[in-house]
Chain A
């Protein structure tokens, strides 16, 4: 039984990693083919790092992900606190339902609806270059917000309301009480919301595809344009670089996590025995 389980798990992992293995292999190809391996070379890595277009797209992608995730986190956290304190059940339910819309809607609908809005408003204002970095940023903040709110809200619910009141009674101003009492308690929710927002923004293609203008290309859009013709192995090289960067980072964190976990696990186990 144990062996059967292991074989099954291994098979699924082989499936998951097959295209990544192909991608990494062909990033070292000496010709421009992505299906016939001709020989080992670092040519495409050199090409990648001398291609200013790709690097600019990478820079744009990171910039957009940073700005949109931080903006969404700030706005989302404030909103979550507001929702949590809200007395009117009806208003709260309405706000929460609206928040669910971008999560439930397929990306293509979100993208198309935002594009139609921008085009519509642009026409009303008689502008000819409505779609730009700003519309892209608005779209990214919009689809990031629900993830932040829904990560922070449960944490708020777990906090003790009375602590906040106690802080007020002890002479803190509301802002001070929030910073000193509530914020530390919900920090993990804020961070996971931020992380999720950052990742989603980094990876988004569909919504960007509809709301992008002429002045700002992100990496997924560039990759899309390339897959329309021929993807040269330099895209594979870029993906491999990203892959290994994240792999190493995750491994380091994982190792750190294992060490701290082993310590705490020991105590947990002993507790269970008792």
Chain B
């Protein structure tokens, strides 16, 4: 049995050596933002950042590692963790057991957090880069006084399809109910986006406070259940990139990422209308390192950093320095920046009162379980 001890020790040692070797490979190139722009007074402290998956330039595929860049510049350690939906983020925050300093929720979730006193005001005097934010994304409905949020990304939901599997050029949500493509259709694995696919198709209000219209949408969704291949969130990348499914609604920016890998993919905004969203940077009320959070937010607004993020995430940027930059490979991209925004009607999600919310959540659980 004594040999087992040596197994443990040797394994651990071997792994440590591997890590030691690896850490030698770190680059010492000069940072993209000149040193000295940010004070190093807070060096040695830590901030907890909670963001969507695939929502920051993270150093993979020769991109810029934004968090590492920030750490190099300020000496502040970034604890970065990810969530897959607004609801997951909300639950975690609501547990009051984890203190985050920076979060990036979507519009309706910001409204809810604000409603429940879970956000802290942002000190705009510390954000020297705020002037880059396009005024049309300021003072939106969820933060009317513009005190709690800084826009990070903008986007719209559309339908991605594989041109080798889908005939013609579809233009409606009804494609997702087409039995011809049975077992080739994916859909959202979160209630709000999931419901919206049916609501837009049926011409219902996505922010309805009438339970009956939610039931109507739920019926439509149950009808769709038998022909679905699956309910997914970011697993969609793998499935669409490898021709495992033909049709899936998702966020426009992510389509561009998928198309890069699988050129057979195409995209459209359904004619019935679709969701438009703004994901904004906020600071939770429980933040423990507020000053560092301000520095981090300002850092995300730096033109070079915002550009690196926009290139990596491929969502539309509210940052004018990015949008007008000639280095921006997606400059004027017609999917991200549609010429006349009125081509299809767009609608924001609003936060609904808790009763409606728990009602549609229950309906949603029912729909998901009806698939089995």
Chain A interfacial positions (CB closer than 8 Å to B) = 32-36, 47-53, 55, 58-59, 62, 66, 115, 118-119, 122-123, 128-131, 187-188, 191-192, 194-195, 198, 213-215, 217, 225, 227-232, 241-242, 245-246, 249-250, 253, 256-257
What residues on A are CB-neighbors of B21 within 8 Å?
49
Selected contact of A230 from candidates B6, B98, B100, B234, CB within 8 Å? B234
What residues on B are CB-neighbors of A231 within 8 Å?
238
A66 and B12 contact, CB distance less than 8 A: yes
Q: Is B3 located at the chain interface by the 8 A CB criterion? A: yes
B99 and A129 contact, CB distance less than 8 A: yes
Known: A213-B98, A245-B14. 19 other contacts (CB 8 A): A35-B242, A53-B58, A55-B22, A59-B16, A62-B15, A128-B286, A128-B288, A129-B99, A187-B2, A188-B1, A188-B2, A195-B4, A217-B81, A227-B235, A228-B234, A229-B235, A231-B238, A242-B15, A253-B6
Closest to A191 in B: B1
Chain B interfacial positions (CB closer than 8 Å to A) = 1-8, 10-12, 14-16, 18-19, 21-23, 25-26, 46, 48, 50, 53-54, 58-61, 68, 79-82, 84, 95-100, 233-235, 237-238, 241-242, 261, 286, 288
B16 and A62 contact, CB distance less than 8 A: yes
B1 and A246 contact, CB distance less than 8 A: no
Between-chain CB contacts (< 8 Å), 25 pairs: A33-B241, A47-B60, A51-B59, A52-B23, A53-B58, A55-B19, A55-B23, A59-B16, A62-B12, A66-B12, A122-B97, A123-B96, A128-B96, A131-B97, A187-B1, A192-B1, A194-B8, A195-B4, A214-B79, A225-B82, A227-B235, A230-B235, A241-B18, A245-B11, A253-B7
What residues on A are CB-neighbors of B60 within 8 Å?
47, 51, 232
Consensus secondary structure, chain A interface: helix
A195 and B8 contact, CB distance less than 8 A: yes
B4 and A215 contact, CB distance less than 8 A: no
Q: A36 to B241, alpha carbons, bound, how many Å?
A: 10
A129 and B288 contact, CB distance less than 8 A: yes
What residues on A are CB-neighbors of B96 within 8 Å?
119, 122-123, 128, 130
Q: A130 to B14, alpha carbons, bound, how many Å?
A: 34
Closest to A63 in B: B12
Closest to A213 in B: B98
What residues on B are CB-neighbors of A242 within 8 Å?
15
Give chain B nearest CB distance to A242 CB in angstroms. 8
Give chain B nearest CB distance to A132 CB in angstroms. 8
B234 and A229 contact, CB distance less than 8 A: yes
B48 and A215 contact, CB distance less than 8 A: yes
Indicate the member of B2, B18, B242 with the most A CB atoms within 10 Å: B18
A230 and B82 contact, CB distance less than 8 A: no
A49 and B25 contact, CB distance less than 8 A: yes
What residues on B are CB-neighbors of A48 within 8 Å?
22
Selected contact of A195 from candidates B7, B46, B242, CB within 8 Å? B7
What residues on A are CB-neighbors of B46 within 8 Å?
215
What residues on A are CB-neighbors of B261 within 8 Å?
32-33
Closest to A216 in B: B79
Give chain A nearest CB distance to B182 CB in angstroms. 22
Selected contact of A49 from candidates B10, B18, B286, CB within 8 Å? B18
Indicate the member of B79, B99, B242, B261 with the most A CB atoms within 10 Å: B99
What residues on B are CB-neighbors of A51 within 8 Å?
59-60
What residues on A are CB-neighbors of B48 within 8 Å?
214-215
B99 and A36 contact, CB distance less than 8 A: no
Q: A228-B233, A230-B237, A253-B3 are in contact. Are A129 and B98 (CB under 8 A)?
A: yes
Selected contact of A256 from candidates B3, B14, B80, B241, CB within 8 Å? B3
Q: A229 to B250, alpha carbons, bound, how many Å?
A: 13
What residues on A are CB-neighbors of B2 within 8 Å?
187-188, 191
Selected contact of B237 from candidates A195, A229, A253, A256, CB within 8 Å? A229
B22 and A229 contact, CB distance less than 8 A: no
Q: A52-B68, A129-B286 are in contact. Are A119 and B235 (CB under 8 A)?
A: no
B3 and A257 contact, CB distance less than 8 A: yes
A34 and B238 contact, CB distance less than 8 A: yes
Q: A215 to B46, alpha carbons, bound, how many Å?
A: 9
Q: A58-B19, A192-B1 are in contact. Are A215 and B25 (CB under 8 A)?
A: no
Q: A51-B59, A230-B237 are in contact. Are A214 and B68 (CB under 8 A)?
A: no
Q: A253 to B3, alpha carbons, bound, how many Å?
A: 7
Q: A214-B98, A228-B53, A229-B237 are in contact. Are A191 and B22 (CB under 8 A)?
A: no
Q: A226 to B321, alpha carbons, bound, how many Å?
A: 31
What residues on B are CB-neighbors of A256 within 8 Å?
3
What residues on B are CB-neighbors of A66 within 8 Å?
12
What residues on A are CB-neighbors of B234 within 8 Å?
228-230
What residues on B are CB-neighbors of A228 within 8 Å?
53, 82, 84, 233-235
Q: A47 to B16, alpha carbons, bound, how many Å?
A: 17
Closest to A35 in B: B242
Q: A76 to B305, alpha carbons, bound, how many Å?
A: 51
Q: A123 to B288, alpha carbons, bound, how many Å?
A: 17
Give chain B nearest CB distance to A254 CB in angstroms. 10
Closest to A135 in B: B97
A128 and B99 contact, CB distance less than 8 A: yes
What residues on B are CB-neighbors of A245 within 8 Å?
11, 14-15
Q: A65 to B50, alpha carbons, bound, how many Å?
A: 25
Closest to A123 in B: B96
Give chain A nearest CB distance to B72 CB in angstroms. 12
What residues on A are CB-neighbors of B50 within 8 Å?
214
Q: A243 to B258, alpha carbons, bound, how many Å?
A: 31
Q: A245 to B48, alpha carbons, bound, how many Å?
A: 34
A192 and B4 contact, CB distance less than 8 A: yes
